[in-house]
Chains A and B, each alone.
Chain A
Amino acid sequence: MIKKLVIASAALLAASTASAQADLLDTIKERGELICGTLDYLPGVGFLNDKGEWSGFDVDFCKAAAAGILGDAKKIKFVSTTGANKFPVLESGEIDLLSRSVTMTTSRETTLGFDFIGPNHLTGQGFMVHAETGVKDAKALDGATICVLSGTVTERYLAEWFRANGISFSPVAAENSDQMFSMYFDNRCDAVTMEPPYLAIRRSRSENPGGHVILDNIIAKSFEAPVILEGNPKFREALQWIHWGMVTAEELGITSANVDDMVKTSQDPVVRRFLGVDETIGKDMGLPNDFMVSVIKAVGNYGEFYERNLGQGSILKVSRGMNAPFSMGGALTAPGWQ
């Protein structure tokens, strides 16, 4: 019995060291395909339409990764995941990358054996109000009636934020989000609280999308990030720099429309280094030297990527808020490209 256990653990150890040697980046390049876990039911976030086309913020990060690593955004196999199975399919190695609006938290990063990329979507608990109230800032919601999902942390954050700001509200608790939004749209509540993209999805489906305003206030953080398994340093670096690259491209003014011209005509050494015209940054990472050109052609810079899926170019129309480079008033940063 003990012998068997020893053998089994030795085999496991061998297997794990073997997988540690074969970085997922090499496995993916060998396979010629990225297997990306995402979601298929939330337009703007992750959606599979009736023609079999995938779209959305989380889907586009998969495309960016495939473009950067394999030079072709079409070399992807998408796997639909659910809230319950998202971590098991990643742990079992069924998918390479989980891009599914997973909230990055201390315990998930440090105790579950995952690495988080980015975070690439900075959101949190926000508010949607009826436009007729004229409210622009959540601090003006003193005395308002607010619809909230019963038994979730949003109830706590809501009460704590109002207390911290010395204002009051009266809650209407809903059992599920359908009921909550139906009460809000029936004007049972002045405001409804949830993450802005989800508020935006409901707003886009409402009778009068123009009659509702999503406030910029974020009263509790939820920073979302793509996730991979720990122990794949090259893969992690590639994805992290693809994310930073998209932010950098926006800062440098490089878009999917002008990237080809930039490659040909730009004399700026920073741009030339970034696009792989000069030096060998990409090659040193184990990627094509012009990997950022493929990424930008596939999904655009971070601004295009955001606006197309969640922002003004989408049905959701979520304002960018923190999701813009620091130099443009947001909270996203990217290290220097040297």
Chain B
Amino acid sequence: MEARVENGARRPSPGGVTTRIRNIVKARGFLSQAIFLIVVAVVAVVVWRTAEENLSRLAVKSGFSFLLNSAPFELGDTIIPYRAGDSYLRAFAVGVLNTVKVAVLGIVLSTFLGLFLALGQLSKSPALSRLCRGYVEIVRNVPLLLQLIFWHTFLTRSLPGVRQAFSPFDGVFLTNRGLYLPFPESDPAHVWIGLAALVGIVLAILVVKLDRRALFREGRTRPTFRRAAAALAAPPILMFLALGAPLTWDMPALKGFNFRGGMDISPEFAAMLLGLTVYTAAFNAEIFRAGIQSVPKGQSEAGLALGLSKGQVMRMIVLPLALRIIIPPMANSYLNLTKESSLAVAIGYPEVVRVANITLAETSQAIECITIIMAIYLTLSLLTAAFLNWVNVRAALVER
């Protein structure tokens, strides 16, 4: 109260012209936003009603109830069991899982390949650095779609047919219909081995934490990587041996037209993974290189002066600093990779867009199908972004 009086006394006109002006500006701002919202709402309603009207005129059903109807098509590459006659919902689930499979593997592989290419470009060896540079320049300048078609044609055309399968080892067959590998048959004992593996993960984390504490408290370095790897691998291996090595391989064998049994990697999936990895790695390499080169030289020189090896300098000083610059553009790169997996439709890999296309052809429910695709990509992108934001925050926290 007092403050206000004091405040008013200082101003030339105590009624508060400025307050009034501020109010007017505020009101105008509010009004313009309200008008904008109304316009958006009207447009949305008009679009909605027009679509509704046209759809009812064309006697096209709307709504998502078709998802429970049975889908009259086969999909091929499926992670969960699916057959024609299952619901459209299940078909979409197959598509989403295939998208996720290729995106996750693509992200992991393209990151490692990208890191390798970046380090290669920065290496002192002229041959290696030029080779890596050349890779980046060639690969990132050829459209991804062409690369996908190239890989697919390459795999289906250059690999031998099913009856002439190339078999380097017993039970491994390479054909232009896919790579067939032995796969362990499921056994009830595997649950225990899985639990042991979880124990291994916990142990490995513990080892890392203990070693880090030892480093900070006592200044002692320990061979953390080896110790953690041992902690990770020992429990499942011991459990496996303790249970009497319960392992029988399901071997692929030629039955009729195709190999049956074991596990197979289709040329469509392989082409997709190769294409996405090779292409995205070129961009990731540039992101890594930019990040690494942005770390001032003094930092690594200081590390070397402290007696760290070159590898230690890279691992413990340069990369952690570079990471802050790398993560945001890397997030973009991962999002791009996920979205670009939709190009799989060109080579017939049954990911979510292919499922949506064929559902659209069957049901004519275009708006619903496209809405589903958009929602799925939005969800995948937001999840990826959320994860990377979390990583980013963790990397940035180190800053003081």
* A173 in the interface (beta carbon within 8 A): yes
| Most B CB within 10 A of own CB, among A133, A145, A153 | A145
* A304 in the interface (beta carbon within 8 A): no
* A337 in the interface (beta carbon within 8 A): no
* A160 in the interface (beta carbon within 8 A): yes
State the CA gap A183–B268 with chains docked (Å). Answer: 11
List 5 A-B pairs, minimum CB-CB distance, nearest first. Answer: A159-B84, A173-B348, A187-B161, A144-B257, A151-B361
* A237 in the interface (beta carbon within 8 A): no
User: Can you report 8 A-B residue pairs in the complex whose CB atoms are below 8 A from each other?
Assistant: A143-B257, A143-B260, A144-B258, A145-B177, A150-B354, A183-B156, A186-B156, A186-B157
* B116 in the interface (beta carbon within 8 A): no
CB neighbours of A172 from chain B (8 A) = 76, 268, 348
CB neighbours of A141 from chain B (8 A) = 257
A152 in contact with B361 given A143-B258, A173-B354 (CB within 8 Å): yes
Q: Contact at A133–B176, with CB atoms within 8 Å?
A: no
* A170 in the interface (beta carbon within 8 A): yes
Q: Contact at B176–A156, with CB atoms within 8 Å?
A: no
State the CA gap A175–B84 with chains docked (Å). Answer: 20
Please give the residue numbers on chain A whose beta carbons come within 8 Å of chain B beta carbons, in ascending order. 132-133, 141-145, 150-153, 155-156, 158-160, 162-163, 168-175, 182-183, 186-188, 190
State the CA gap A174–B358 with chains docked (Å). Answer: 12
Q: Say how far A172's CB is from chain B's closest CB, in angstroms.
A: 6
* B52 in the interface (beta carbon within 8 A): no
Task: Please report whether the interface of chain B is mostly helix, strand, loop or mixed according to DSSP.
Answer: mixed
CB neighbours of B176 from chain A (8 A) = 186-188
Q: Contact at A175–B346, with CB atoms within 8 Å?
A: yes
CB neighbours of B350 from chain A (8 A) = 173
| Most A CB within 10 A of own CB, among B157, B255, B348 | B348
**Among B74, B163, B360, contact of A169 (Cβ-Cβ < 8 Å):** B74
Q: Say how far B351's CB is from chain A's closest CB, in angstroms.
A: 11
Q: Say how far B83's CB is from chain A's closest CB, in angstroms.
A: 8
Q: Contact at B348–A150, with CB atoms within 8 Å?
A: yes
CB neighbours of A162 from chain B (8 A) = 74, 84
CB neighbours of A143 from chain B (8 A) = 255-258, 260
What is the count of residue pairs linking A and B with beta-carbon distances less than 8 angstroms?
80
**Among A132, A171, A186, contact of B75 (Cβ-Cβ < 8 Å):** A171
Q: Contact at A175–B267, with CB atoms within 8 Å?
A: no
Residue of B nearest to A163 (CB): B84
Q: Say how far B360's CB is from chain A's closest CB, in angstroms.
A: 7
Q: Say how far B355's CB is from chain A's closest CB, in angstroms.
A: 10
Q: Say how far A278's CB is from chain B's closest CB, in angstroms.
A: 55
State the CA gap A152–B161 with chains docked (Å). Answer: 27
A145 in contact with B258 given A152-B361, A172-B348, A183-B156 (CB within 8 Å): yes
- Interface size (B, Cβ < 8 Å)? 34
Q: Contact at B72–A159, with CB atoms within 8 Å?
A: yes
Q: Say how far B19's CB is from chain A's closest CB, in angstroms.
A: 61
Q: Contact at B76–A155, with CB atoms within 8 Å?
A: no
Please give the residue numbers on chain B whose beta carbons come within 8 Å of chain A beta carbons, in ascending order. 72-76, 83-85, 153, 156-157, 161-163, 176-177, 255-258, 260, 267-268, 345-348, 350, 354, 357-358, 360-362
Q: Say how far B258's CB is from chain A's closest CB, in angstroms.
A: 6
Q: Say how far B86's CB is from chain A's closest CB, in angstroms.
A: 11
Residue of B nearest to A180 (CB): B348
Residue of A nearest to B346 (CB): A175
| Most B CB within 10 A of own CB, among A169, A187, A188 | A188
State the CA gap A267–B361 with chains docked (Å). Answer: 58
CB neighbours of B348 from chain A (8 A) = 150, 172-175
CB neighbours of A133 from chain B (8 A) = 257
CB neighbours of B346 from chain A (8 A) = 175
**Among A153, A173, A182, A188, contact of B267 (Cβ-Cβ < 8 Å):** A188
CB neighbours of A160 from chain B (8 A) = 72, 84
State the CA gap A258–B153 with chains docked (Å). Answer: 53
Q: Say how far A192's CB is from chain B's closest CB, in angstroms.
A: 13
Q: Say how far B348's CB is from chain A's closest CB, in angstroms.
A: 4
State the CA gap A46–B357 with chains docked (Å). Answer: 32
State the CA gap A172–B258 with chains docked (Å). Answer: 14
Residue of A nearest to B157 (CB): A186
State the CA gap A146–B163 with chains docked (Å). Answer: 16
CB neighbours of A183 from chain B (8 A) = 156
Q: Say how far A223's CB is from chain B's closest CB, in angstroms.
A: 22
CB neighbours of A188 from chain B (8 A) = 156, 176-177, 267
State the CA gap A153–B202 with chains docked (Å). Answer: 53
Residue of A nearest to B158 (CB): A186
A143-B255, A175-B345 are known contacts; what are 9 more A-B pairs with Cβ within 8 Å? Answer: A143-B256, A150-B358, A151-B360, A152-B361, A159-B73, A160-B72, A162-B84, A173-B76, A173-B358
Residue of B nearest to A152 (CB): B361
